């Protein structure tokens, strides 16, 4: 993710296994121009290996909607964190424990033209 646009969480992320929770993110634009950012959802990852192990199993109402972040400003964005397992070894839902999650953001003016770029891994607690 480019240094000019950064995401941080507004508090600790916690969700019950088998459920979806909302988390508030703070999206910072450190450039001198307005930036339009698309939201591509979130994924749950193993914080040690970086492997994507889960996420939302349903269509999200937040995907591909994104704010225009004014130059040198910060906006609040909603993030949905789902716990459906994407790997057979974990069963149908990511089990309780300490995991991580990443938001997928699209930056239309990205010179590499990637459809979505993941943020750094944020800590995620999954409970019973």
pLDDT at 117: 80
14: CATH: 2.60.40.10
Residue 13's H or E segment, with its range, is strand 13-16
CA dihedral 62→66→67→68, nearest 10 degrees, is: -170
Q: What is the pTM of this model?
A: 0.86
CB of 118 closer than 8 Å to CB of 1: yes
pLDDT at 4: 79
Range of the domain at 84: 5-127
Domain count, the chain: 1
pLDDT at 80: 92
What are the tokens at 106?
Answer: 């699209």
CB of 118 closer than 8 Å to CB of 107: no
Strand pairing class (38-45; 74-82): unpaired
- The series of mean pLDDT values per 10 residues for the chain, 128 residues long, is 79 96 93 86 95 84 70 92 96 98 78 69 97
pLDDT at 1: 44
């Amino acid at each position: 993710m480019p240094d000019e646009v950064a995401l941080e969480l507004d508090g600790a992320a916690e969700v019950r296994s088998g459920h979806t929770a909302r988390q508030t993110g703070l999206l910072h634009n450190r450039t001198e121009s307005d930036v339009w950012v698309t939201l591509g959802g979130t994924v749950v990852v193993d914080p040690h290996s970086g492997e994507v192990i889960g996420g939302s199993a349903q269509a999200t109402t937040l995907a591909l909607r994104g704010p225009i972040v004014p130059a040198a400003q910060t906006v609040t964005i909603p993030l949905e964190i789902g716990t459906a397992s994407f790997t057979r070894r974990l069963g149908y839902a990511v089990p309780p424990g300490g995991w991580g999650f990443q938001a997928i953001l699209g930056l239309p003016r990205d010179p590499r033209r990637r459809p979505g770029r993941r943020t750094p891994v944020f800590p995620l607690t999954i409970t019973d």
